[in-house]
Amino acid sequence: MIRAVIFDFDGVLADTMSDNCKAWQDAFAVYGFHMDAIEYYRLEGMGRFQITQHFIDKYFLDPSIKKDVVEAKEMNYKKNNSFKYYQYVHDIFSFLNKKNIPIAIVTGASRDRIKEHLDEKISVCLKALVTADDVIHTKPHPEPYLSAANMLGINAKECLVIENAILGIQSAKSAGCHCFALETTMSATHLTEADEVFDSHENLFTKLMTLFN
């Protein structure tokens, strides 16, 4: 039985992935490196330091740039983003809250960035928030979702995770959670490890209403 719902943030609640990608690309471009968007999307869910390390290791970049790239990425995003929640997100949160279903967010983003974007309609419903700053191991490790389940006081097997990324799905499943995926940044062919895939938030909302009514 599902007793709680845990959401990823970027690409699930908020339409931010293209802005995040551009912020990364501009940060790396200073050092003459072009970051491929598809490769970045495949890494979604990792912490920002882990993402930077991935590209440094794979493309033999100077290790000393790591901290500067991370800081530049955060600054780039803060200066240039068109933040917005996906349609139906507030409806979903309102519905779950009225049904007394505990809600959490688990993200590979920094706590500062997430808290900056959480509006009252979202934050008032939250029972737990786990960011990259709160764990030792980011996605695809199970720690982020296990931490959220622990904060909710609910067994991970009774938690439903909503994801949009390959590594996020792997994190959720390895934690023992049930997992739905949204096709916001990647097609269903990349999301096959999820228990069910949805092509829109509207269809996800319909499914959640069926589950909890």
pLDDT in tens, 141-191: 999 999 999 999 999 999 999 999 999 999 999 999 999 999 999 999 999
Q: What band does 45 get if pLDDT is binned at 50, 70 and 90?
A: confident
In one-letter notation, the amino acid at residue 30 is: V
Sheet bearing 4-7, strands edge to edge: 126-130, 103-106, 4-7, 159-163, 178-182, 196-198
pTM across the whole model: 0.91
pLDDT in tens, 99-123: 999 999 999 999 998 988 999 999 9
Nearest to 148 by CA among 1, 2, 5: 5
pLDDT score, position 54 = 96
Q: What is the DSSP string of 142-207?
A: SHHHHHHHHHHTS-GGGEEEEE-SHHHHHHHHHTT-EEEEE-SSS-GGG-TTSSEEESSHHHHHHH
Neighbour count for residue 88 (Cβ, 10 Å): 17
Sign of the CA dihedral 160, 44, 129, 96?
Answer: negative
pLDDT score, position 3 = 98
Question: At a CB cut-off of 8 Å and minimum separation 6, what does 24 contact?
Answer: 35, 40, 51, 73, 76
Q: What is the mean pLDDT of residues 2-13?
A: 97
Neighbour count for residue 79 (Cβ, 10 Å): 9
pLDDT in tens, 65-90: 999 999 999 999 999 888 999 999 99
Q: Reduced to 3 states, what is the DSSP secondary structure of residue 21?
A: helix
pLDDT score, position 93 = 98
Give 104's strand partners: 6, 128
